[in-house]
């Protein structure tokens, strides 16, 4: 009878250890996943700002070297409207189309509308979520 008691006790202790380890792993997995997701958002934000900057340069090439003064100017240079919403901005909704797009629909602020492309020390864009500038 005592052997059976020890066996049951060992089985219960094993289950506690297994489930405890599982809970610990689940907690750390979610913590690591949150960090990776955040880093991914940073990277995608930088990539989107880069694409918007290239779109601005393309537009400037046809407009006396001046960057766009509003988002609609980029409609022919940037194919995806969703690029004006930072991946870290979970509250903002996408505008229906380029003509309906307002500053309130974008996570990025055009800091210097119409800035001349040759003025490389002037900030053109700023992410309102991350504070990145470009
Ligand atoms: Zn951002």
**Residues with CB in 5 Å of ion ligand 1:** 45, 86, 88, 127, 129-130
**Domain assignment present for 37:** yes
96: number of CA atoms within 13 Å, CB side? 2
Residue 134 lies inside a defined structural domain of this protein? no
Query: Is 133 part of any domain?
Result: no
3-17 residue pLDDT tens: 677 888 888 888 888
Which residues form the domain of 109? 2-127
**17 by DSSP, 3-state: which?**
helix
The reported pTM is 0.79
Distance of CA 130 to the CA centre of its chain: 9
The DSSP bridge partners found for residue 119 are: none
Cα end-to-end span (Å), the chain: 76
Quick one: tokens of 105? Answer: 């629909």
Q: What is the 3-state secondary structure of 40-68? A: HHHHHHHHHHHHHHHHHHHHHHCCCCECC
Distance 50 CA to ligand 1 centre (A): 11
pLDDT-derived band at 2, boundaries 50, 70, 90: low
103: CA distance to ligand 1 center in Å?
15
Domain assignment of residue 93, yes or no: yes
Q: How close is the Cα of 131 to the center of ligand 1, in Å?
A: 7
Residue 40 belongs to some domain of the structure: yes
Which range, of 3-12, 15-24, 103-112, averages the lowest pLDDT? 3-12
DSSP assignment letter at 23: H
Beta strands in 1-134 (DSSP E): 108-110, 125-127
Residue 49, domain member (yes or no): yes
Cα(118) to centroid(ligand 1), Å: 25
Q: What is the mean pLDDT of residues 56-85?
A: 95
- Give 26-55 pLDDT, tens digit per residue: 888 889 999 999 999 999 999 999 999 999
Percent of the chain predicted with pLDDT > 90 = 73
Q: How many structural domains does the chain have? A: 1
Q: What is the mean pLDDT of the chain?
A: 92
**Average pLDDT of 74-82?**
93
Pick the closest to residue 52 from 28, 30, 21, 85 (CA basis): 85
């Amino acid at each position: 009878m005592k052997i059976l008691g020890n066996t049951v006790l060992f089985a219960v202790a094993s289950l506690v250890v297994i489930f405890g380890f599982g809970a610990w792993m689940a907690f750390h997995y979610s913590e690591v996943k949150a960090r990776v997701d955040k880093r991914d958002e940073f990277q995608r934000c930088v990539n989107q700002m880069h694409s918007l900057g290239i779109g601005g340069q393309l537009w400037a090439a046809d407009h006396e070297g001046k960057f766009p003064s509003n988002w609609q100017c980029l409609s022919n240079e940037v194919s995806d409207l969703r690029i004006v919403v930072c991946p870290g901005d979970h509250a903002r909704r996408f505008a229906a189309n380029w003509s309906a797009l307002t500053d309130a629909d974008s996570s990025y602020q055009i800091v210097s509308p119409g800035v001349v492309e040759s003025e490389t020390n002037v900030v053109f864009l700023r992410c309102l979520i991350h504070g990145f500038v470009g």
